[in-house]
Amino acid sequence: MSEVVTVTIDGRQVEVPAGELLIKAAQDRGTYIPRFCWHPRMKPVGMCRMCLVELETPRGPAIVTACTTPVSDGMVVHTRNETVQRVQEGVLEFLLINHPLDCPVCDRGGECPLQDHVMAYGPGESRFVEEKRHFEKPIPISDLVLLDRERCILCARCTRFSEEISGDPLIEFTDRGNGVHIATFPDLPFSSYFSGNTVQICPVGALTATAYRFRARPWDLTAVESTCLQCTAGDRISIQASQNEVLRILGVDVEPTNQGWLSDRCRFGFQYLGSPERLATPLLRDATGDHVEASWSEALAVAATRIGDVLQRSGGQAVAVLGGARLTNEDAYALSKFARVVLGTNHVDAQMDDGLDPQFLAATVDRARIGDLETAKAILVWGPDLKEEHPTLYLRVRRAAQELGAKLVVVHPRRTGLDDRATHKLTYRPGEGADLLTELVAGTGRAAEAREALAEGPVVGLVGRAGYGEDPRLAEAVAAFVRTLPDGKVLPLARRANVYGALDMGLAPTLLPGRVSVAGEGADAIAEAWGGLPDHPGLDARGILEAAAAGDIEVLILVGADPVRDVPDGDLARRALETVPFVVAIDQFLTDSSRVADVVFCADGFAEKEGTVTNLEGRVQKVNRIVPGPGQTRPDWSILDDLARRLGVELGLTSAEAIAKEIAEVAPAYRGVTWERLDWEARDGIVVPEEGHAPLRYVPADTPGARHGGDLVLHLARVMYDDGVLARHSPALAGLAPGGAVFLHPDDATRLGLGSAEQARVVTEHGEATLPLRMDDTLHRGVVYVPFNQPGVPPLGPGPGVTVTPA
């Protein structure tokens, strides 16, 4: 692979890797060859002819497409001689035959590859005087993407993306000759979770995004590079704004994470930032119980007085903090310090009852990197449906299986987005995963073949909880198994924004900043730096809510947390919030939870503050600010610092950057991680810990957890679009939630007398709902699947027990 050949490009001799495509080799050595159809992340097709160059061959000069020609030793290439210039002019004249040149009213105008190439390489004039083709314009090909067919230059980037990259080829060329155009099938829109990528890679303005169309001209936009927090992969993005309003998000191509691609949730999920419902002032409750606007000092004073009273009377044990997964590391650190030092409590949890051990998520030994998927011989995905919960990771696994030849074993209670690329697919009933794991470990029964597929390493295991009906310990047992495989590494999966960063900053009852266990090595140093730590055992999110509902918590602080909607047992959360005498919320919106808060502080959101975040492999990257928050919002750290001061404690927090420096000193795993390095030398982020700075090395527990006996088990799992507060306030996404439904295997439906029913009644230990009934023959028998947090569906709780009856 590392063999090098010598090529002469425009008279200049350069050394390039053997076998590389000429267009890429030339680009890497400083010669840009124009192109439309070639994309570095997709296979070449040679469709547009823009990249034609002249090769010297023994039989004389030959014109070839640089995007399909691999370099060979001694090759002599001309990219700008007279012949090539004539050829380029010809190609562009042809491409413009049917192109409308409506640049003044086209979103792409100003950043359009066709426009730019015509300027740089075009003939300047066209001889075509006949009628161009016309189409109805624009037509929606999905809820998010519009198509102006007459602008299309038939480069097939969009269709290849949908087939090669995202695996949902719902758009294709249709008709022939002069009539060829991009089309979807009737009543089958391009409803891909990744449709927005086609807008970004279309070299003309044929594909535009409904959310951005006619909103700005490229030259009016300012941009800043940042990291997306819609999933935990840490995708690089460019946030683009005009006049203090974020208008679009584009993917940035970096090797370690998203390789340029984004899910539509990531691309279009920013609109909540500009929502008129954003909180812009602090709120207090008046005598009648209504929220009224308050000044910062009023609100802080009320909060400080009430919290101070409780601390004096009952101590830190009576105070709890929920949330923090949406914060930057700096804000999370401030919250962690605030909780431990000011409140004196270990009742902190950013994980909101997702169930996995925080130490497992933060510090698993043999943790894999996303990049390990490129070299993996085998991949085991046992956990959530990656397509629904980890979309860009899904693309990476898909690529590994489809393009790089890795064997892929997928284990899930029903169909997943990766099934069509899986070498082996196993389904099971949540609660019986232990039995299947035993078979997989032993290589017996129906897992025998899958076990064989995992025999050759390196193996990467992506493990998490398939759904809320699953015993969380199963994931750890699976991880323990992966570690026994040849060169086996594990990516433990959690899905909330910056949850890995929050855990690394100690927003878990058993963790302190820098992957230090509250009772373990390194805790003393932090105690010294902070001037003491609470010594009572902390409660996790479930424990906090249960204690609160039982009346044992007197102050509950919610930080960007909406437990009513966001924990599986929303009913418990509701009771907890009703019982706690004093609730403080730091948030961007009034949610079903913060609506009952006594004090609400308005906080800066994503794109409104600078900081760092940590992704699921432990990669620390910058997020950057491009717009101010609305009204009087403040960063979380400064709210907490102010509150601390009023409670008589100096936290010494002066700016996010200063906090970052403190983290780099106090938190062992983050030693040496500074903004300066991240901004300059380490643009792709730094995977922590760098050598030798990790006190906690968590070994996954090899106990597969409890077995569930009942006749039916509940599989309650997340899907891409739900009724979360940010999605609800992002118009582009708000309508995309599929809605509540209960899925049964047809055999089960028949057995339960629901063969032809349209609705069914679902009853669990924690709730009940009447939902539309859908048949799903990919479900394992005996499993009842309900998508989590859909509009209008009451919470059904975390337990596996469920009954389904005619409505």
Residues that bind ligand FES (CB under 6 A): 35-38, 46-51, 65, 67
CA 380 to chain centre: 20
CB of residue 24 to ligand FES, shortest distance in Å: 11
47 binds, among another protein, ligand FES, ligand SF4, none (CB under 5 to 8 A by kind): ligand FES
CB of residue 374 to ligand FES, shortest distance in Å: 25
x/- letters, 742..761, toward ligand SF4 (CB under 6 A):
--------------------
154 in contact with another protein (CB under 8 A): no
Q: Which residue(s) pair with 24 in the sheet?
A: none
110 binds, among another protein, ligand SF4, ligand FES, none (CB under 5 to 8 A by kind): none
168 in contact with another protein (CB under 8 A): yes
Question: How many angstroms separate the Cα of 529 from the Cα of each of 7, 284, 337, 522, 652?
Answer: 59, 35, 11, 11, 12
Question: How many angstroms separate the Cα of 342 from the Cα of each of 320, 534, 600, 606, 644?
Answer: 12, 10, 19, 26, 6
**Cβ partners under 8 Å of residue 94, min gap 6:** none
Distance, CA of 511 to CA of 529 (rounded, Å): 16
Interacting residue with another protein among 167, 324, 506, 611 (CB under 8 A)? 167
46 binds, among another protein, ligand FES, ligand SF4, none (CB under 5 to 8 A by kind): ligand FES
DSSP, collapsed to helix, strand or coil, labels residue 174 as strand
**114 versus 727: smaller Cβ distance to ligand SF4:** 114
Distance, CA of 583 to CA of 590 (rounded, Å): 13
**Cβ partners under 8 Å of residue 677, min gap 6:** 686
DSSP, collapsed to helix, strand or coil, labels residue 574 as helix
CB of residue 420 to another protein, shortest distance in Å: 5
Question: How many angstroms separate the Cα of 213 from the Cα of each of 106, 109, 216, 494?
Answer: 8, 12, 8, 34
CB of residue 174 to ligand FES, shortest distance in Å: 21
Interacting residue with ligand SF4 among 7, 53, 206, 302 (CB under 6 A)? 206
CA-nearest of 462, 453, 440 to 372 is 462
**Tokens representing 532?**
């003491």
CB of residue 92 to ligand FES, shortest distance in Å: 12
- Contact between 50 and 118 under an 8 Å Cβ cutoff? The reply is no
173 in contact with another protein (CB under 8 A): yes
3-state secondary structure 82-113: HHHHHHHHHHHHHHHHCCCCCHHHCCCCCCCH
Q: Name the one residue in this structure whose structure tokens are 């470990």.
A: 441
CA-nearest of 547, 479, 471 to 509 is 547
**112 versus 508: smaller Cβ distance to ligand SF4:** 112
188 binds, among another protein, ligand SF4, ligand FES, none (CB under 5 to 8 A by kind): another protein
**Tokens representing 341?**
């030092």
Angle 143-148-152 (CA atoms, 0-180°, nearest 5)?
120
Q: Which residue(s) pair with 801 in the sheet?
A: 713
User: b/e per residue, 165-188, with b = 16+ CB within 10 A?
Assistant: bbbbebbeeeeeeeeebbbbeeee
184 in contact with another protein (CB under 8 A): yes
Q: Which stretch binds another protein (CB under 8 A): 9-17, 120-128, 172-180, 614-622?
A: 172-180
Interacting residue with ligand SF4 among 5, 75, 118, 152 (CB under 6 A)? 152
**147 versus 321: smaller Cβ distance to ligand SF4:** 147
> Would you list the DSSP string of 255-317?
TTTTTT---HHHHHTTGGGG-TTS--S-EEE-TTS-EEE--HHHHHHHHHHHHHHHHHHH-GG
91 in contact with ligand SF4 (CB under 6 A): no
Interacting residue with another protein among 441, 525, 533, 775 (CB under 8 A)? 775
**172 versus 366: smaller Cβ distance to another protein:** 172
**181 versus 774: smaller Cβ distance to ligand SF4:** 181
Q: Which stretch binds another protein (CB under 8 A): 396-404, 432-440, 518-526, 773-781?
A: 773-781
**128 versus 173: smaller Cβ distance to another protein:** 173
182 in contact with ligand SF4 (CB under 6 A): yes
Burial of 441 (0-12, 13-18, 19+ CB in 10 A): middle
CB of residue 805 to another protein, shortest distance in Å: 24
| Distance between start and end Cα atoms, the chain | 63
Interacting residue with ligand SF4 among 45, 139, 154, 741 (CB under 6 A)? 154
CB of residue 71 to ligand FES, shortest distance in Å: 15
169 in contact with another protein (CB under 8 A): yes
112 in contact with ligand SF4 (CB under 6 A): no
CB of residue 662 to ligand FES, shortest distance in Å: 50
**Cβ partners under 8 Å of residue 270, min gap 6:** 239, 246, 249, 606, 607, 730
CB of residue 190 to ligand SF4, shortest distance in Å: 11
Interacting residue with another protein among 64, 103, 183, 254 (CB under 8 A)? 183
Interacting residue with ligand SF4 among 7, 153, 544, 796 (CB under 6 A)? 153
Closest residue (Cβ) to ligand FES? 67
99 in contact with ligand SF4 (CB under 6 A): no
750 in contact with another protein (CB under 8 A): no
Applying CB under 8 A, which residues contact another protein?
Answer: 167-176, 183-188, 415, 419-420, 775, 777-778
